[in-house]
Amino acid sequence: MAENKAAVRQLRYAIVGAGMAGLLAGVKLRQNGEEFTIFEKADRLGGTWRENRYPGLTCDVPAHAYTYSFEPYPEWKAYYAAGPDIQVYFEMVADKYDVRRSIRFNCEVAGMVWDEASHEWSVTLGNGETQRFDVVIAASGVLHHPKMPVIEGLESFAGRAFHSAQWEDDAPIDGVRVGLIGNGSTGVQILTAINKRVEKLVHFQRSPQWIMPVPQFPYSDEDRAAFRADPALMDAIRYHDEYLGAIRRFTDGITDINGPEIAQIEEICRLNLENSVRDPELREKLRPDYRAACKRLIYSWCYYEEVQNPSVYVDTGRIARIEPEGVRMTDGTFHPLDTLILATGFHADRFIRPATVTGEGGRSLDDAWARRPTAYFALSVPDFPNLFLLNGPTGPVGNFSLIDIAERQWDYVDQLLDRLRSGAERRIAPTRAAHEDYEERRIAAAKTTIFGSGCTSWYLDAEGVPASWPWSYDAFADAMKAPVFADFGLPDESSAAGRLEEEASA
């Protein structure tokens, strides 16, 4: 239901991106009776679920947990939802909450400049148009700039070669020889989906992955009818002890790398490998030489089974170059191929960029982030007032729902927005001191997490420091309950109320 907070000022909001987090912001503002514009560079909403269309695309968070808390969804088709079904969910939410009319599609934000005199963001769009806003919510996602591998000869390949996030529907897969480079979540999911369709699949694995076994099962029509009749059944899945226990074990494990939780995770993954892969040679090829959960854990119910299909050949060697007819390894081996899939990940340090963002004193976000993308509590940046980031740099990452993260972040940002709505403040940004203090503590803690225990991954920044929230999930939930207003140079509401009382009685 609309909450309709009393507002002295009607704020003008720009939201960048109509993915999961941008839609969330839109729903919340709509429920509060506020106006906003969501700028979306593409012609559809959905963010990563719109962009990625590769076979096997699945969210590795249980479907009933990867839903907005305010919009449980009885229609999920399986415990882990397929990408297209998630896209349907977001489209439904956009319509049900009347957000779609406020989305401007095919409208990329090219730049934004903070006007210190008027306390407004001047937002310039790709078509040159400029609009002014009081607040910008950057919900532009993390993994949406495909990272092409730098391999000699890639452009000489005679067949079709494309990044997993730019799937080419008409590229030959069935009955042909396919090369698949990369085995993060994407490469693994693609392998499990196509290995039975191809004549031959060569999976190039520069680093093997630990695989966490998880159950997957479809929901039947009867299940869905039961969910519709009794939404508590969906909550029972979302808040199931076993699921929440696994999340807690995971988040405790990543922050206490000598503790029992991570040891348990490692043991589950090791036993999965030992018990699932029959051929000892393949088993050793698939055994990582780094600790489980250092890279983002792969959750899969079928990878080990599928990788043992005779059509699959795993090559853990180094690629020397790509030739017109296939891939040459440094040991001289040649793999003749018809199609080459590049599941090589994303530039995870871009966030709202390449949009140029200019804050107070003419400071550019590129400069502020020259060393590493950073934000106070992952949400806001000194010198860039009234700019709030959802799923921005150094937020929690791992095998849990980013929807839950974004919802908590929104609740926090909303409390800051109240200060603007009430007219008490015109600009809100953290102080440099508060940000530096946060970042110093964060970096020190991040280096001791499992992500920093000796592997490469998209979690690491350019200096090899994990770019993530380094404390427990509960600590994150606590931090998001209420801003420390003093860190924004703002009076605490309770102390402000106290002061007023003192003044009144003086």
Footprint of ligand NA7 on this chain (CB under 6 A)?
143, 149, 151, 181-187, 204, 206-207, 296, 319, 343-345, 456, 458
Report the residue number, 145 or 270, with the smaller CB distance to ligand NA7: 145
CB 379 within 8 A of CB 391: no
CB 433 within 8 A of CB 361: no
Report the residue number, 87 or 344, with the smaller CB distance to ligand NA7: 344
Smallest gap from Cβ 227 to ligand NA7, in A, equals: 26
Strands (E), 262-366: 298-300, 312-315, 319-323, 326-329, 334-336, 339-342, 356-358
Report the residue number, 126 or 146, with the smaller CB distance to ligand NA7: 146
Report the residue number, 151 or 378, with the smaller CB distance to ligand NA7: 151
Residue 6, both tokens: 């009393």
Smallest gap from Cβ 396 to ligand NA7, in A, equals: 12
Query: How would you list the strands of the sheet with 326-329, edge to edge?
Result: 319-323, 326-329, 334-336
Percent of the chain as helix, strand, coil, to the nearest 5: 35, 15, 50
Report the residue number, 151 or 293, with the smaller CB distance to ligand NA7: 151
Smallest gap from Cβ 427 to ligand NA7, in A, equals: 34
Smallest gap from Cβ 401 to ligand NA7, in A, equals: 12
Residues in the chain, overall count:
506
Report the residue number, 286 or 368, with the smaller CB distance to ligand NA7: 286
Other C-beta atoms closer than 10 Å to the C-beta of 252 total 17
Report the residue number, 182 or 382, with the smaller CB distance to ligand NA7: 182
Strands (E), 54-149: 103-104, 109-115, 120-125, 130-133, 135-138
Q: Which residues contact 7 (CB under 8 A, 6 or more apart)?
A: 34, 421, 422
Residue 410: in which H helix or E strand, if any?
Answer: helix 402-421
Cα separations in angstroms, 368 against 15, 225, 348, 437, 488: 21, 52, 17, 16, 18
Which alpha helices (H) appear in 277-358, and where do they start and end? 280-285, 303-307
Report the residue number, 391 or 409, with the smaller CB distance to ligand NA7: 391
Measured from each CB, the residue nearest to ligand NA7 is 184
Smallest gap from Cβ 168 to ligand NA7, in A, equals: 16
User: Residue 384's closest CA among 437, 422, 435, 347?
Assistant: 435
Do strands 298-300 and 211-213 pair parallel, antiparallel, or not at all (unpaired)? parallel
CB 141 within 8 A of CB 391: yes
Smallest gap from Cβ 483 to ligand NA7, in A, equals: 28
Smallest gap from Cβ 430 to ligand NA7, in A, equals: 27
Tell me the three state secondary structure of residue 210.
coil
Report the residue number, 185 or 374, with the smaller CB distance to ligand NA7: 185
Smallest gap from Cβ 154 to ligand NA7, in A, equals: 9
Report the residue number, 36 or 459, with the smaller CB distance to ligand NA7: 459
Report the residue number, 322 or 443, with the smaller CB distance to ligand NA7: 322
Smallest gap from Cβ 408 to ligand NA7, in A, equals: 18
CB 409 within 8 A of CB 123: no
Residue 378: left (phi > 0), alpha (psi -120 to 50), or beta?
left
Smallest gap from Cβ 231 to ligand NA7, in A, equals: 28
Other C-beta atoms closer than 10 Å to the C-beta of 97 total 19
Smallest gap from Cβ 253 to ligand NA7, in A, equals: 17
